[in-house]
Homo-oligomer: A and B are copies of this chain.
Amino acid sequence: MISDKTVARLSVYRRVLLDMQDAGQAHVFSHELAARSGCTAAQVRRDVMATGYTGSPVRGYDVTALAGSISEFLFHSEAQKVALVGIGNLGRALMAFSPRRNPRIPLVAAFDNDPAKVNRVIHGCRCYPVQQLEEVVESEGIRVGILAVPSAAAQDTARRLCRAGVVGLLNFAPTHVWVPPHVYIENLDLSMALEKVAFFAGLRAPQKEISL
C-alpha cells in the first residue's frame, strides 16, 4: 500500500525539515522542500499526502508540524532495536552514525568473530562475540540486523538473525541473501553502485563548465 520509494523520500524530507528547524525556518513550500531533497514539487505533495498531513496554500507547510507528521508516520511503532554484525571499517563507520541518528532506531549490539574486537563498548554500543548472537538478539528484542560481514558469511548470518526474531535486514555484503518472506531486506551493494557510476561516467564527455 505504501511504496518503498515514498518511505525513502519521506526520510530525506524529514532530515531536511530538521535542518530547517535548526535554522529557525518556520514554513516551507513544496518546491523548496523538493529542491533541497532532489525531487519535484509534485512528488513532495504526493508523498506528504501519504502521511496525512495537510499544508496551507498560503504559507505552505509548517516545518515543525510536517516533521512531526513524518516522524509519526515513519516511526509509529515501538522503537526498532538494531544489531550490527561485522565490526570492520564499514561496521565502525555505521556505529559512528549512531549519535546523530534516530533514538527510535537505536543500535544496541554489535557482533564480531574477532576476539580482539569484542567485549567493549564503541560509541555507546556493546560488542559481543558472534556466538552470542541469538542470545542477545532474543533477550534484547532486536528487530533489525545490519550485515557488514564478508560475502561468504552473509547467508548464514542472515539465517541466524532471522531465526532469532529479526524482521528487517540491511545487507552490505555483495551477495544475494535469501530470507523468509516475512523479513524485509534492503541491499546496499557498494561495488555495484560504483560500477554503475563508472558505467554512466564512461558515457559522458568531460566538460569544464564555467557555471559552477
Which residues of A are in contact with B by a Cβ distance under 8 Å? 4, 7-8, 11-12, 15-16, 36-38, 74-78, 80, 82, 88-90, 92-94, 96-97, 100-102, 104-105, 143-144, 146, 159, 162-163, 165-170, 174, 176, 180, 182-209, 211-212
Contacts and interface: CB of A to CB of B under 8 A. Distances in A.
Contact of A206 (B104, B165, B196, B212): B165
Given A82-B194, A162-B212, 5 more contacts: A7-B200, A11-B196, A168-B200, A168-B204, A185-B197
A207 to B, nearest CB: 6
- Number of identical monomers bound together in the oligomeric complex: 2
Given A96-B89, A105-B195, A209-B182, A190 B188 contact: yes
Contacts of A196: 4, 7-8, 11, 186
Contacts of A11: 189, 191-192, 195-196
Nearest to A204: B167
A5 B74 CA distance: 26
Contacts of A78: 202
Contact of A163 (B101, B163, B208): B208
